[in-house]
Chains A and B, each alone.
Chain A
Amino acid sequence: MSNLLTIKGLKIEGRSDETWTPIINGVDLELKKGEVLGLIGESGAGKSTIGLAAMGYTRDGVRISDGSVEFDGVDLVNASAALKRGLLGKRIAYVAQSAAASFNPAHKLIDQHTEGPVQHGVSSRSNSMEDGVELYRKLRLPNPDEIGFRYPHQVSGGQLQRAMTAMAMSCRPDLIIFDEPTTALDVTTQIEVLASIRQIVEEFDTAAIYITHDLAVVAQMADKIKVLLRGDEVEESDTRTMLSAPKEDYTKSLWAVREFKRPEKEAVPDGAVPVVSVRGVTAAYGTADVLHDVSFDIHAGRTVAVVGESGSGKSTTARCITGLLPPRKGEISFDGQVLPLDYRKRTKDQLRQAQMIYQMADTALNPRKTIGQIIGRPVEFYGGLKGTQRRERVNELLDQIELEPSQYYNRLPSELSGGQKQRVGIARALAAEPKFIICDEVTSALDQLVAEGILRLLADLQDKLGLSYMFITHDLATVKSIADEVVVMKDGIVVEQGPKTEMFSPPHHAYTDLLLSSVPEMDPDWLNDLLKERGVDNIGDAAVDKM
């Protein structure tokens, strides 16, 4: 059988500072009809660029400098605009990472759905609308007859992502490019979208390129996997071979990320005073309660992971502890001493003891200040150090986070990579010499290898400095690797809590069980087995709704 898509020696360049720098250095790719190829790699590996080039398209300031892209006998690199217009949307479709940003907020879903087929003359508007409802039904969207008449902001993120998949399917394309379609979703939402995408791709025998940085996801979706590193192909083979016997060191290191685990710690002695104690906290935004009677303790040198989906109240709990959102009821004590609920009423020393590391290092560091100023401020503010003393202390902190002081002291945050920025965020927290640090999704915006580095650093610092962490995350793999105790939250209520070993072995609370079972595993049969075991209507959000 001939190839549907053949890419040969593809080279792509991007324009920066008046010169063209290579982004992709000669990548080959072949795809047959009905085949799914997984493209994985870190950010900056060129996954999305290749995905777009497969449609003969490049972003502004980027050009295809060499190589060919042939789709079903048509050379897309040299094709005329008119010819490409006839193919894109009709025979090649694209599903973007953020459905919310890709839908036009001013039009109803079904109107956007019918646009492609009508424009391409594939079908009439009324036929296309019927077909849309049919696709919504196949993708198991709730109320398929009516959901199309809503606006994008009226449906949830996971539903929107499925509506976008339906839209891509509207002309029954031969090839769909999925660019990280589930990266921004919760695990329970992700699993539904994955199941839907896979079902529909199989049913219509569509070829697909599935771009992601999550290995476990790609293992479920793809027939074969291509690993990329900085614009070069590392290796390619079929999914099972790739998972069981990766050849290259880089691929092995990607696989090994999931192995990081900390040794068990001894049990907390009875009667020990917890560093942080949250008692019966109820908090509200406006008049609506978002936290209900939340209680847990964090002991010295321990990590408590707070787990839950978005909207479960994890971050709100953190805001209550820091005093940004004074709780309506309950109390928060530190080393046995009750803290004022509002941060403005706390003393400087009380503020110093509890520090925070943020999810988005981009917004957590002032872009107009140098690294030296960012870390130096708390050193000066709390420690009163000035001049060379301050400089020495900042250097010491930079050493601790494994950044070379002489190189990084005078840089701006924009001159750092994502992982380095997150390290600076850690150093700023350490500069206050706290006992307790809240880590709010600190690794969720990072690539797996980089995230692992951050986790190891946090673990080392804990061992050295005896820090306590409250680790907010929705990623259970992270919990497994770093937590001592786990608190599971849902709708502002603590559903279950206890030591990690207990939490990860049955019996679970039904919700914990669902969360755990929704985390994709590296086994390519995992999704099939799960669907067989539970049935399509008992996974993900659908199951959450039934609780």
Chain B
Amino acid sequence: MSGIMGFAIVLAALLLGAYVFRVAGQAVTKNAPTFRDMGFGVAFGYVLGAAILVWAIWYYFQPKVLETGVPNAGVVFFRWAVQGFIIAAVAAFLFRLLGRHVGTAGTRKLFRSMPLTASFGILVILIYAFVAVFAGAIAPYGQAEILGAANVVAGGDPALGGNPEYPLGTDQIGRDILSRLIFGAQNTVGIAFVTTCLAFFIGGSLGFLAATLQGWLDQLLSRGVDVLMAIPSLIFALLLMTIASVWANKLGIPLTIFMVLIIALIDSTRVYRLARAVGQSIVVMDYIEAAKLRGEGLGYLVFKEILPNAMAPLLAEFGLRFCFVFLMIAALSFLGVGIQPPLADWGTMVRDLAPFINFAAFAPTAAVAPLLAAGAIALLTVGVNFVVDWMLHKTSGLKE
């Protein structure tokens, strides 16, 4: 009851605040258009935003440890989130500043018109790519190397159960989490990239072919894709992986290759849909008709006339699709049929360390263990999406 009362009181205060804000604004600025034409909803939004900001600052400076001696986990995680956000923003800003002054005229121009989110996304992707390529050189230990101590807490502070030799701690059988994260980038991201490329090659070429030729081929391919799309993708992948694991044993081919093929097949159906839709809107253009009447062959039509015009939506889709593939691999690994141990993989790492999340209330640093790999997945997904959003925005010619 008191919760509802509290909510009602806060809401009433905010509504009153919004009214006062607008009236005061009109009086102070002598009826400037911004305040004169401001709706009540807009004023409420400003006041609400200000109230949340005040609360966030107050919460940030709450003590880390409660009077009872138990750590205040909420505050600890909130501080990390705020600090992480500020570091990311500053890094993105510096990176953009660098891009505006270094590089060719073309890239400098690109960076000048780039929003901060996109430069953050590009920075994240570059770091991941670098880490993935040079994993062997960067990682302090091997990915399967079992070290002395198990369950060392992240942070490297011996007083809290950490060890400076393992800055992010070790897992339950004593492997260095930092090294495994770095190798995980290589395995998970690398495999996801190959899989996405394959999905685009299959789906893209079949989609354009269907759009150009139409008729029975289009019907055949499209209905086939409909059937594949009708089956929930994760369950379908699990089913095929189960079959493949038998074959993999029999034929001696690594299961990972089957996984790449299976996910590529499932995702190519989505790419096919997009490529066909985009292709269909291009095929009706007069320049395609002109090329057909010139007597051009199918290959020229698809790769020289249609593809360059479909590049923008396909690239944007590539970014999104990459995230989905990546999450699918992580999900399969989490379920135990994806990338096989002892290879490091972020999905497996989350699964293995998942129980530690229960310690969050009284030992925030210990609970971080599964979140590190999950955070690595989330960060890349967010980064890629920022870049994709920006590219879509650029190619669609939308004004902000």
Indicate whether A257 reaches chain B with its CB closer than 8 angstroms.
no
Q: Which of A324, A367, A377, A382 contacts B293 (CB 8 A)?
A: A324
| Residues of chain B contacted by A81 (CB below 8 angstroms) | 36-37
Give residues 310-325 of A contacting B (CB, 8 Å).
322-324
Question: Which residue of the partner chain, among A348, A363, A369, contacts B286 with CB atoms under 8 Å?
Answer: A363
* Known A363-B285, A366-B308; contact A80-B294, beta-carbon cutoff 8 A: no
CB distance from A532 to the nearest CB of B (A): 44
B290 contacts the other chain (Cβ, under 8 Å)? yes
Q: A365: which B residues are within 8 A, CB to CB?
A: 287
A346 to B292, CA, bound (A): 12
A358: Cβ under 8 A from any B Cβ: yes
Chain A CB within 8 A of B106 CB: no
* A428 and B308 within 8 A (CB): no
Please report the C-alpha to C-alpha distance between residue A381 and residue B295 in the assembled complex, in whole angstroms: 9
B289 / chain A contacts, CB cutoff of 8 Å = 324, 356
Residues of A within 8 A of B293 (CB): 322-324, 343, 351, 355-356
Describe B's contact surface by its main secondary structure.
Answer: helix
Query: Nearest Cβ distance between residue B208 and chain A, in whole angstroms?
Result: 15
A269 within 8 A of B: no
B83 within 8 A of A: no
- Mark interface residues in A337-358 (1 if CB within 8 Å of B CB, else 0): 0000001001010010001101
A527 in contact (CB, < 8 A): no
CA distance A171 to B212 in the complex (A): 51
Q: Is the CB of A364 within 8 A of B295?
A: no
Given contacts A80-B36, A367-B309, whether A348 and B290 have CB atoms under 8 Å apart is: no
In the bound assembly, the distance between CA atoms of A343 and B289 in angstroms comes to: 11
Q: Tell me if B250 counts as interface (CB < 8 A to partner A).
A: no
A368 interface contact, C-beta 8 A: yes
| Inter-chain contact B37/A80, CB cutoff 8 Å | yes
Enumerate chain B residues within 8 angstroms of A368, measured Cβ to Cβ: 308-309, 311
Residues 197-249 of A at the B interface (beta carbon under 8 Å): none
Whether a CB of chain B sits under 8 angstroms from the CB of A82 is: yes
Q: How far is the CA of A60 from the CA of B295 in the complex (A)?
A: 44
A324 to B285, CA, bound (A): 14
The smallest C-beta distance from A472 to any residue of chain B, in angstroms, reads: 14
Which A residues touch B286, using CB under 8 A?
358, 360, 363-364
Bound complex: CA A78 to CA B36 (Å): 11
Interface check B317, CB cutoff 8 A = no
Question: How far in angstroms is the closest Cβ of chain A from B305?
Answer: 6
Interface flag for B352 (CB, 8 Å): no
On whether the beta carbons of B309 and A358 are closer than 8 Å, the reply is no
Task: Give the most central of B36, B285, B290: most A CB within 10 Å.
Answer: B290
Interface status of A139 (Cβ within 8 A of chain B): no
Say whether A358 contacts B292, CB under 8 Å: no
* Closest A residue by C-beta to B288: A366
Smallest CB gap from B307: residue in A: A368
Q: Which residues of A contact B308 (CB under 8 A)?
A: 366, 368-369
Separation of A81 and B38 alpha carbons in the complex (Å): 9
Across the interface, B290 reaches (CB within 8 A) one of A60, A78, A428, namely: A428
| A80-B36, A368-B309, A369-B308 given; A348·B287 CB < 8 A | no
Query: Can you name the residue of chain B whose Cβ is closest to the Cβ of A440?
Result: B286
Contacts of B36 in A (CB 8 A): 80-81
CA distance A368 to B305 in the complex (A): 8
Cβ < 8 Å to B, chain A residues 350-390:
351, 355-356, 358, 360, 363-369, 377-378, 381-382
Minimum CB–CB distance from B185 to chain A (whole Å) comes to 35
The 8 Å CB contact of A381, one of B285, B292, B294, is B294
Contacts of A351 in B (CB 8 A): 293-295
B157 an interface residue at 8 Å Cβ cutoff? no
Q: How far is the CA of A176 from the CA of B308 in the complex (A)?
A: 45
Instruction: Report if B296 contacts A (CB, 8 A).
Output: yes
Residue of B nearest to A361 (CB): B286
Confirm or deny: B30 has a beta carbon within 8 angstroms of a beta carbon on chain A.
Answer: no
Which residue of A is nearest B37, CB measured? A81
A432 in the interface, Cβ–Cβ < 8 Å?
A: yes
Residue numbers in A under 8 Å from B290 (CB-CB): 356, 358, 364, 428
Q: Do A363 and B287 form a contact, CB below 8 Å, given A61-B399, A80-B37, A82-B37?
A: yes
Q: Which residues of A contact B311 (CB under 8 A)?
A: 368
Minimum distance in angstroms from A15 CB to a CB of chain B: 8
Q: Mark B299-313, 1 if CB is under 8 A from A, else 0.
A: 000000100110100
The contact of A366 among B37, B292, B294, B309, by CB within 8 Å, is: B309
Residues of A within 8 A of B (CB): 60-61, 78, 80-82, 322-324, 343, 346, 348, 351, 355-356, 358, 360, 363-369, 377-378, 381-382, 428, 432
15 contacts between A and B (CB under 8 A): A60-B399, A81-B36, A323-B293, A324-B289, A324-B293, A343-B293, A351-B293, A358-B286, A360-B286, A363-B286, A364-B285, A368-B308, A378-B294, A382-B294, A428-B290
Query: What would 13 more interface pairs be, CB under 8 Å, given A363-B287, A369-B308, A378-B294?
Result: A323-B293, A343-B292, A355-B293, A356-B289, A356-B293, A360-B286, A364-B286, A364-B290, A366-B285, A368-B308, A368-B309, A382-B294, A428-B290
Closest 5 CB pairs of A and B: A368-B308, A81-B37, A364-B286, A358-B286, A366-B287
